[in-house]
Structure 1
């Protein structure tokens, strides 16, 4: 795990290096549209939570000795920053957000949610910014919110399309319209 942390700290190429069951996944540096969406979402989440929670972007989460993932946005207990910790303990993470990119669709939709759920992270959000199967008449982007159930699996709690403003209650109340997360 220390090697994975060092790899991401010293990565001059801007790539993201994630560790899944001992195998390294390399993702290219996110596009400016991807980063804009993450920054805007972090700003919304930063303004909303109770004072004991903090929203951060692109911080790794060690999920055991052979897995470490880097969500686009996460909300953690302020305690996660204690003692100069470089990454939060998964028990201190309340929400992880993945913004789906062309190079990470399967990872963001399938692999990462399974790993986050197995680690007990109570909330997972996924932002779709490009056409996807099942889009229907919705405008992009579309935000999907999930909550962990008693069987440690994520259950869809909301599908929110651009042009619709709604208050999401969990893990804390925040009002948003996915349209505000992209440059149009």
Structure 2
């Protein structure tokens, strides 16, 4: 048996097409047909953005919140993590945790329509501060997602927002216990999320 030469081009990791990036003409179809070994990405106005890998603490907070939703959310809701939301023909987002209606359509690792997503959660990391605090809330609001939570680390603090008109308004925030009536009755001890 002889070893076959390996084509160096076949060993390169996936990356977005530079010309299409400059033209900003990637579509949702491009994201939905990415190869299995592609990194997590978001599509913003036709440009593919690679999502940074989360830190250990970020992952622990996300996982613990997902587990809390799994244990406490009503049956008509389904938690998900590290999956995308289709918010337009040339826009997808990758919240850290989301809560959606159980019957929401799934396309690979993405959910649509965005209106069926009940809640999106972003865990803020040093490299995602601006995006998680400013850009993503505006995109989620424009897509009609009713609830947005932002979780800050060190110390863990949850900020809960509800869509009023076309903007999110802060409805609760706590580093101790988050108490909400929507999207379902929530009594979440914030310290249980801490890594």
- Tell me whether the two structures share a fold, i.e. TM-score over 0.5: yes
Deviations 1:150-176 (A, max 9, x none): 2x1000001111xx2243221111221
Answering whether residue 177 of structure 2 is matched by residue 165 of structure 1, we say: yes
Q: Cα–Cα, structure 1 residues 9 and 118, in superposed 2: closer, same or farther, change >3 Å?
A: farther
Cα drift, residue 21 of structure 1: 0.9
Q: Secondary structure of the equivalent of 1:172?
A: coil
**Change beyond 3 A, Cα 1:173–1:129:** same
TM-score (norm 2): 0.80
Rounded Cα–Cα distance in structure 1 between residues aligned with 2:35 and 2:65: 23
Deviations 1:63-89 (A, max 9, x none): 1111100000001111115xx633222
CA contact (8 A) 1:48 1:173 kept: no
Q: Is the 8 A contact 1:8 1:17 kept in 2?
A: no
Instruction: Note the residue ranges of structure 1 that are not aligned, 5 or more in a row.
Output: 131-139
| Gap change, CA 1:106 and 1:77, over 3 Å in 2 | same
3-state DSSP class of the match of 1:170?
coil
Q: What is the number of residues matched between the two proteins?
A: 166
TM-score by length of 1: 0.84
Q: Which has the higher contact order (CA 8 A, sep 6+)?
A: 1
The superposition leaves residues 113-134 of structure 1 with CA deviations (integer Å, 9 ceiling, x where unpaired) of 000000000000000004xxxx
Q: Is the 8 A contact 1:27 1:104 kept in 2?
A: no
Find the residue that maps to 2:104 and give its secondary structure.
helix
Q: What stretches of structure 1 move > 6 A for 4+ residues in a row?
A: none
**Superposed CA RMSD:** 1.6
Instruction: Give the Cα–Cα distance (whole angstroms) in 2 for the partners of residues 143 and 170 of structure 1.
Output: 15
Q: Write the distance in 1 (CA, Å) between the matches of 2:158 and 2:65.
A: 11
Instruction: Give the CA deviation at 1:8.
Output: 7.2
Do residues 10 (structure 1) and 42 (structure 2) align?
no
Query: How far apart, in 2, do the equivalents of 1:20 and 1:107 lie?
Result: 12
| Larger-gyration structure (1/2) | 2
Quote the Cα distance in structure 2 between the aligned partners of 1:42 and 1:181: 10
* Equivalent pair of 1:45/1:174 in contact (CA under 8 Å): no
